[in-house]
């Protein structure tokens, strides 16, 4: 049998546990709810920051791409046509492609005015002309046919805008399997005040 004392102790412990739950867990639950709300606000702020970061990263990539394109354009069409730099560039590509340089001539720079970008009435002077500088010259090299092909490709793919105007290939006259290539080229640059 259960005695009265055990019943009273059970009731007292139950009351104490109930009070402990009420006064301990309820405030802790409220504290947890408050922390959850704070974390939701911080998460929203973090997501906003991530979105801003991604936007800035994309803008930076666009700017970097623009800057890269601008650098390529300035290298391809410099505002000064320095003969020494062009000579060194042509000598280097010739050496890199294992072609024996026979002759190299770099001419003087000249300014060319192209046709107007927009047509104007026949009774008015042309407007919006695009001026650019050119330097023409010749370069000759001697090598095997395969090396000459590589050399021509390298010349056409310089970082400077260079076009090959004419190409003359002749037998080198030696007993080796080499040929001689003489190239007339034109290098371009923009004017300082287009």
Whether 106 and 65 share a structural domain: no
What is the structure's pLDDT at 150?
92
Whether 59 and 117 share a structural domain: no
Ramachandran region, residue 188 (left: φ > 0; alpha: ψ -120 to 50; beta: rest): beta
What is the extent of the structural domain holding 110?
83-121+128-190
Whether 21 and 69 share a structural domain: yes
* pLDDT per residue as tens digits for the range 71-98: 666 666 665 667 778 888 888 988 998 8
Whether 60 and 114 share a structural domain: no
Whether 94 and 175 share a structural domain: yes
Q: Please check the confidence at residue 185 and state whether its pLDDT lies above 80.
A: yes
* Mean pLDDT, all residues of the chain: 77
The structure's pTM equals 0.52
Whether 184 and 92 share a structural domain: yes
């Amino acid at each position: 049998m259960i005695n009265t004392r055990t019943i009273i102790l059970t009731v007292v412990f139950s009351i104490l546990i109930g009070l402990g739950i009420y006064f301990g867990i309820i405030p802790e639950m409220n504290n947890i709810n408050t922390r959850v709300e704070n974390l939701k606000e911080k998460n929203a702020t973090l997501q906003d920051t991530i979105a801003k970061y991604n936007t800035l990263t994309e803008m930076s990539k666009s700017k970097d791409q623009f800057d890269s394109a601008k650098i390529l354009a300035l290298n391809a069409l410099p505002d000064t046509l320095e003969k020494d730099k062009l000579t060194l560039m042509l000598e280097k590509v010739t050496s890199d492609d294992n072609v024996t340089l026979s002759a190299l001539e770099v001419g003087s720079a000249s300014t060319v005015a192209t046709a107007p970008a927009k047509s104007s009435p026949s009774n008015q002077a042309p407007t919006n002309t695009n001026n650019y500088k050119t330097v023409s010259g010749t370069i000759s090299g001697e090598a095997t046919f395969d090396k000459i092909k590589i050399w021509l490709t390298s010349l056409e793919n310089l970082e400077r805008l260079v076009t090959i105007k004419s190409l003359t290939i002749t037998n080198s006259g030696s007993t080796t399997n080499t040929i001689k290539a003489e190239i007339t080229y034109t290098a371009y640059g923009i004017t300082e005040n287009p």
